[in-house]
Structure formats: structure tokens, C-alpha cells
Amino acid sequence: MPESGPRAENAPWLTYYPAGGPHDVPVPDAPLTALLDDAAEAFDRRTALVFFGRRTRYGALRRAVDRFAAGLRDLGVSPGDRVALVLPNCPQFVVAFYAVLRIGAVAVPVGPRLGERELRHLLADSGAVAAVVVENALPRVRPVLRHTALKHVISTSLAEALPLPTRLALRLPLARSRAARKRFSPGVPRGTDTIPWHEVARHAPGGGEPAPGAPGDLAVLQYTGGTTGPPKGVMLTHRNLLANAHQVEAWHAPLRGRRETLLAVLPFTHAYGLTLGLGAAILGGARTVLVPTPDTGGLLRAARRWKPTLLHATPPVFEDLLARPPRELEALRTLRGCVSGALRLSPETVTRFGEVVGRTCLVEGYGLTEAAPVVLVNPLNANARPGTVGIPLPGTEVRVAREDDPAADAAPGEAGELLVRGPQVFAGYWNDPAATAARLRDGWLMTGDIAVMSPDGFVTLIDRRVDVIDVAGTPVFPSEIERVLCEHPAVREAAVIGVPDPAKRGLGQVVRAVVVMRGGHAVSRGALMEHCAARLPPYKVPTLMEFRGASLPRGEVGKMLRRELREPPTR
């Protein structure tokens, strides 16, 4: 039976739900693969995927999934086994993902751009027995194989998914073709013992019925971005992912007057991209235009051809788009729904994007891997409040708890830890019961994020709890100081952390800022200190300041990795 959603008297945000939108979402008692099966039945000849002009229909997609699932079974992959997907957004990712679930195995999405150290950790920690790897990631995967449980490595290239004329053009002995071959099919490195994709993908279904996972079974082992520590394996069940797909789809449904086209920019190796691109989009029978890299020129070319209605991305993508010439941005005027996540979205970006598109369509949302991942979204209408991350999705409860007593609610407008409850909340951390117990308490997910909720239910994020600086017993939020630093015209980006007071004055911690300057600009420490002192109380003004020539460390979708900055400042 579906879980009941929040009651109206405890959920003031329900007032702002889209007209006709549900307050709760029944979650089918089915595996995640039911999304594709239902879509193939309803939209057999409708285009499901577009990749550089090559179209794949829903019926053909399901047949490709069944063939690849048969190939995996012939390799000996069994229910419960983990299969790593080291791939960008491409048709092979979609096929392999659903094929893994079709046989009751567990998908482990892995970013293809990760370095050897990160790949070794994820592949070894997950215990993956097979991996599907894009060719240009093989040189980094091969050296770590002996540290893993991998028995099979299946190699593929983006060229295999291109339209036939494009594949033929790649063979031409021209400079342009050579450059394209390097991008789409660099070739399998020598000494790499792999199984070609086509050898697995051509199997005829048979040998007994597949055994897709039950709703409560593990479907995806999704690793966190490592913003607060080493990446942890988040166990997401079929029900978690199916629930979030239905919640997101219900949020978009009131917009609909026709079929949607999604520009899939967010990587499927991130929970945000996975749920939106492989869950909600398929549930709604959308046409998904696969974008392997977030190149703004390529994005706009795809927008001109396919006329997208949905584009979900991170703030840097929207900001980079706005930096293009106005005539190019006309391709975005078909957009009707854009949700930004992962990083703070400035109200100025919202306003400028609305002017370009000709309507209010860009809003901010919030999620975390442990919630599969979407929790909060602004209404996709005039009720949206720039600067906030919105209100809970249907069937989701949130509360802001007092930091000194998680059982008690903070007063409206008072900062506290954001807690979440709903069918999308994860089953726990992989092989880490202690960390699971610390995050799941009495049915609530402790997000670790400090937030404020307005009396009518809109949430504003402040900072990660682990990043809050304790200066003589007074909490200091790094994001406030970072915003002040970035207001200086010479500063391109800044990160603020707390470090032990070097002078041992009993302050506990002091504020340390790491700053990257804009090209062609220069400013002294003293000038930046004065800039901060004019806008902040003395205890928030950085005591230590370091200048860096390169960009600050960020994760796969752009989140600041403050943990990597918690080193003594260089002198």
C-alpha cells in the first residue's frame, strides 16, 4: 500500500501546489523496470532517445535492454551482483542500466572522468563483478583491476551509437574525421582484455525469464560526491527510485499540453540526472536528447534542432548559456520547465533566463543522493521564490529541527537541520551501519544541511552542518562570507572554512578564506579584509586568506569540495 503523505495542517506548503497537482503520489508495487515496460507498451513507436541525431524508439529500446540482459546473464551476472557503468550520457548507459535491473542485479553509476584513485575506491568498495566502460576511460580503469572483484569489462565507444552516415564519415582520411574519431572512438588501449559491447548486446533473450528486483530490493548503489568526506555508497531501492520518478513527474504534469522533450545534460552517474533522465522522463513518455558533455555550443545546437521543453541542470550551465550571443539563445524559447540544483542559484540568473525564454521557467530545487535525490522544488509558476529551494514534492515531509534537540522543531525563520521523510529516502549506506544509524533516526533522514523554513513552507538553505564554523561558541556560516567576497569585482570564486585558531586565543576556530581572482585583476589581502570588514561583523572577517591561481576543487556537478581545503594555508 502507498504511504500517506503529509497532512494539510502540518504542511502549509500545500497551498502553493500547482493547480490540479496531487498532494500525494501512490507508488506502484513494482520494480523500476516497469517504467520502461509500461512506456514501451504505451508508446512503442515513439522516440525515446536521441543521440547526435540517431533516434531510438521505446519499443526498440526495450528489445535492446532484453538482449543486453541476456548477454549479462550468459556472462554469469546474477541477481544481487553489482555492475559498474563507467559511461557518459549515451544510449549504452540507458540500455545497460535497465538490463542490469532486468536480471535483478545492482547498477553502480561511475563518472567516466574520475581519476584512478576514485575509480579504484568505487569499483573495489562496491564489489562490482562486471563493468561497462567507455573506451576513453579504459586507461584509468585497467590499472585498478587487480584491486577489484571485476571478472568482466565490457568496452564501448560513443561512435557505436552514432547515426550510420556519421559513423561512415568517421572513416574518411580527413583531419576533421580524425578529430571526431579521437572524440567518439579513441580505440581500446593495447593490453586491455575487454569484451566488445556488440558481443554482449547481440544476445537473443532466452534461457528462462529474467528476475527483476522486488520493490524493496537494492537497485542502485549510488556514491556520494565526496563533498564532506570519502564517497559513500548510498543504497537506493527500486521503490526509492520509482517513488521519486512519480513525484517529479507529478510536479511537471500540470505544465503539460503536449509531449515533453528533455535535454539530458545532467550526468546519469549523478542521482539528479539518473532520476530525471532515466526515471521521470521515461515515466512521462518523453523524448530524451542525450548530451554526453555540457558544452554550451552543443547544447544550443541540440536545442535548435529538437526544441526542448525541459532542461534540468546546475547553475554554471545556465550562467554559461546566458553568456552566449542573444541570437543563439532564441533556441531556448521552447523551454517551459527548468530546475536548477546542486549549487546555489542566484535570483539574477533566474530573472535574466526568464527574459531570454520569455516566461518564468527556471526555478531552484534541492535534493541529496540519500533521497533518490529530489526533495524540494519551487513551483513552476508565479509562486516560485528565487533564493529559496522551494517546497516539498508530493508525498514528502520536511521539518527544520533545532540543532540542540533534533526531536524539536525550530521556530519559523530559525535556522536548524533539515529533516526529510518520504518513500524516496534511502535504505542505508553500503557496508556502513554506523553511518546509516547516524543519518536515519525515527524514520527521518538527517540531511546535514542547515536551513530556514518560512511560515508558509518555503525552505532556504544556508550551509552544510559540517561546514559551520565555531568562532568562540558563535556559529558562522561560510556561504555568507563567500557571497561577500565574491561581491568584490576582482574575485572570481571563494571558499571559506574553519581552522583551529593559530594564536590559541580560546576562539576555537577562525575563518580562513581561499580566493581565486578574475583574469587581469589583482587585489591585496588588506583590501579584501577591508571589503569584508565593511560588510561583516568582526568575528566573521577572515583571519587567514590564501590566493590560488587555479579554480577551487569541485565535484562532478560543481559542488565545492571544502574538505580538500582543510589544510594549513600555504605560505
Rounded CA separation 91/160 (Å): 9
Q: In the structure, what pLDDT confidence band is assigned to residue 144 with cuts at 50, 70 and 90?
A: very high
In this predicted structure, what is the pLDDT of residue 2? Answer: 41
What are 244-267's pLDDT values in tens digits? 999 999 998 766 656 899 999 999
pTM of the model: 0.86
**Which amino acid, 528?**
L
Q: Are 287 and 306 in contact (CB under 8 A)?
A: yes
In this predicted structure, what is the pLDDT of residue 143? Answer: 94
Q: Which three cell numbers stand for residue 219?
A: 537497485
Q: 510: part of which helix (H) or strand (E)?
A: strand 509-517
Query: How confident is the prediction for the chain on average, in pLDDT?
Result: 88
Q: In the structure, what pLDDT confidence band is assigned to residue 119 with cuts at 50, 70 and 90?
A: very high
Q: What is the mean pLDDT of residues 454-464?
A: 92
Q: Are 109 and 83 in contact (CB under 8 A)?
A: no
Alpha-carbon Rg for the chain in angstroms: 24
- What HEC string does 189-223 produce? CCCCCCEEHHHHHCCCCCCCCCCCCCCCCEEEEEE
Q: Are 310 and 252 in contact (CB under 8 A)?
A: yes
What are 69-88's pLDDT values in tens digits? 999 999 999 999 999 999 99
Residue ranges of the chain that CATH labels 3.40.50.12780? 53-214
What are 207-216's pLDDT values in tens digits? 556 677 789 9
Residue ranges of the chain that CATH labels 3.30.300.30? 469-565
pLDDT at 487 over 70: yes
- CATH architecture assignment, domain 469-565: 2-Layer Sandwich (3.30)
More confident residue, 367 or 569: 367
In this predicted structure, what is the pLDDT of residue 1? Answer: 37
Q: In the structure, what pLDDT confidence band is assigned to residue 3 with cuts at 50, 70 and 90?
A: very low
DSSP for 54-103 reads EEEEHHHHHHHHHHHHHHHHHTT--TT-EEEEE--SSHHHHHHHHHHHHT
Q: Give strand pairing partners of 131.
A: 84, 153
Cell 511537471 sits at which residue? 252
Q: What is the mean pLDDT of residues 189-205?
A: 82
* Residue 13: C-alpha distances to residues 301, 361, 377, 408, 492 (Å): 38, 20, 11, 20, 36
pLDDT at 191 over 60: no
In this predicted structure, what is the pLDDT of residue 569? Answer: 46
- CATH architecture assignment, domain 53-214: 3-Layer(aba) Sandwich (3.40)
Q: Are 218 and 236 in contact (CB under 8 A)?
A: yes
Which range among 25-39, 271-285, 342-356 shows the weakest confidence by mean pLDDT?
342-356
In this predicted structure, what is the pLDDT of residue 539? Answer: 84
In this predicted structure, what is the pLDDT of residue 213? Answer: 76
